[in-house]
Structure formats: structure tokens, C-alpha cells
């Protein structure tokens, strides 16, 4: 059975992720994908299906490889509030500097685009939001048992606030917001949560 591909689907998918992440689905043509990956339309369609399938696969890959590892790290960190501070620090650094500066978050971007009318996309966005909130909640629970939280601070509601705050950071960073400015805001939010 000569069904061996002449390319690496994983590397290809990573390239596609970056394309959709940076430019958005609507502004990225199949031709862009063909050019960036180097493979041709036949292989592309045979391997990944049409554009929407390709986008969904790329979006899932983004969540699995970029979001969930960070969420896990946050949820399992036993330090409490410092783990949340580190989470936001890493977020702001990733959004404002380095290779992905001003790309925002692929999931946040998907919220704002027309692609969220697809039920599968929307389900992914909801799941992502739940996982982010749960990870923050876990860290806040740890902080509470460690006595780091200000009296009256409820981990559940606070996790919701911080999750929304993260979306705000993602959005503003894509428009070129200053890292220090974002960090000042995040610090203020975390200060109001802790003792």
C-alpha cells in the first residue's frame, strides 16, 4: 500500500495554525496555505478536507498545544496566587513580545469573527472558556486554603473575572497594547483579590 505521504502533516498543521492565528480564517486563502506549507491543493484536501475542516483542526491543535498545557500547569501549581501572577506574566509576555507578538489569542480572535457561527467552533470556544475558568478556580481554591485571599473573595466568581480579564489582555495586545500597561492592570486586579 503506497499510502505514504511526502510531507509531514504535523508540521504542515503547525504552519496552518500560525496562518489562521495571525490573519484570521476569513482573510486567509487556500492559496496562502498552499504557498506557506509548500504542498499542493490535492494533498491538502485529501489530508485535511476543505477549508472549514482545516480551520477546525488547526483550532483544536492550538487549544491542545498552546492553551491546555498552560491551564494544566496553572491548575496543578500549588503556590496559590503566585501561580496566577505567573500565568498572566507569561500570557502578557507571549502576547506582546517574541514570535507571536500582536497575534492575540487564536481563541479570542475566533470569538470576534464570523467563524463563531459554526456550532463546532462555538463548542470549542465554550470548552476553552470553561477550562480556563476551571484552572483559575483551582489556583484560587489553593490560594484560599493557603489563606492568601482577601476576606469575602469567592474563588468561583473571581475565576470568572480573571478569565474575562485574560480575554481583555488578548484583545488589547493584538492592537499593540503596551506590556507594562497590561501588567499594571493585571497587578491591580490581583492585588484586590489577595490580602
Partner DNA sequence: CGCATCTTGAAATGACCGTTCCAAGATAGA
Partner DNA sequence: TCTATCTTGGAACGGTCATTTCAAGATGCG
The residue ranges that bind a second copy (CB under 8 A) are 23-24, 26-27, 104, 108-109, 111-114, 116, 122, 125-126, 129, 150, 152-154, 157-158, 160-161, 163-169, 171-172, 174-177, 181-182, 184-189, 191-193
Chosen from a second copy, DNA, none, partner binding at 59 (C-beta under 5 to 8 Å by type):
none
Minimum distance from residue 32 beta carbon to a second copy (Å):
12
Name which of a second copy, DNA, none residue 126 binds, using a CB cut-off of 5 to 8 Å depending on partner kind.
Answer: a second copy
Plot region of 58 (φ>0 → left; ψ -120 to 50 → alpha; else → beta): alpha
Window contacting DNA (CB under 7 A); options: 22-30, 96-104, 113-121, 187-195: 22-30
CA distance 17 to 63: 10
Q: 39 or 193, CB closer to DNA?
A: 39
Nearer to DNA, 7 or 100 (CB): 7
Only one residue has cell 496566577, namely: 84
Give the nearest distance from C-beta 119 to a second copy in angstroms.
11
Q: Do 76 and 188 meet the contact criterion of CB atoms below 8 Å apart? A: no
Using CB atoms within 10 Å of the CB of residue 189, give its burial: 0 to 12 exposed, 13 to 18 middle, 19+ buried: middle
Half-sphere exposure of 10 (CA within 13 A, CB side): 1
DSSP of 152-171, one letter per residue? Answer: T--HHHHHHHHHHHHHHHHH
When asked if residue 32 is in the footprint of DNA (CB under 7 A), the reply is yes
Query: Interface with DNA by CB under 7 A: which residues?
Result: 1-7, 28-32, 39-43, 45-47, 50-52
Amino acid at each position: 500500500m503506497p499510502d505514504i505521504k511526502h510531507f509531514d502533516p504535523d508540521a504542515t498543521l503547525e504552519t496552518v495554525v500560525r496562518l489562521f492565528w495571525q490573519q484570521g480564517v476569513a482573510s486567509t486563502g487556500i492559496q496562502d496555505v498552499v504557498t506557506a506549507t509548500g504542498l499542493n491543493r490535492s494533498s491538502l484536501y485529501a489530508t485535511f478536507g476543505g477549508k472549514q475542516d482545516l480551520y477546525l483542526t488547526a483550532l483544536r491543535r492550538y487549544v491542545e498545544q498552546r492553551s491546555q498545557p498552560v491551564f494544566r500547569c496553572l491548575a496543578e501549581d500549588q503556590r496559590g496566587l503566585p501561580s496566577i501572577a505567573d500565568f498572566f506574566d507569561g500570557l502578557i509576555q507571549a502576547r506582546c513580545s517574541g514570535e507571536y507578538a500582536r497575534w492575540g489569542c487564536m481563541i479570542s480572535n475566533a470569538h470576534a469573527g464570523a467563524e463563531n457561527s459554526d456550532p463546532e467552533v462555538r463548542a470549542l470556544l465554550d470548552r476553552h472558556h470553561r477550562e480556563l475558568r476551571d484552572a483559575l478556580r483551582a489556583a484560587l481554591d489553593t490560594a484560599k486554603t493557603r489563606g492568601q485571599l482577601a476576606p469575602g473573595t469567592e474563588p468561583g466568581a473571581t475565576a470568572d473575572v480573571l478569565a474575562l480579564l485574560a480575554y481583555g489582555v488578548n484583545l488589547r495586545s493584538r492592537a499593540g497594547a503596551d506590556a507594562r500597561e497590561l501588567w499594571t492592570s493585571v497587578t491591580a486586579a490581583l492585588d484586590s483579590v489577595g490580602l
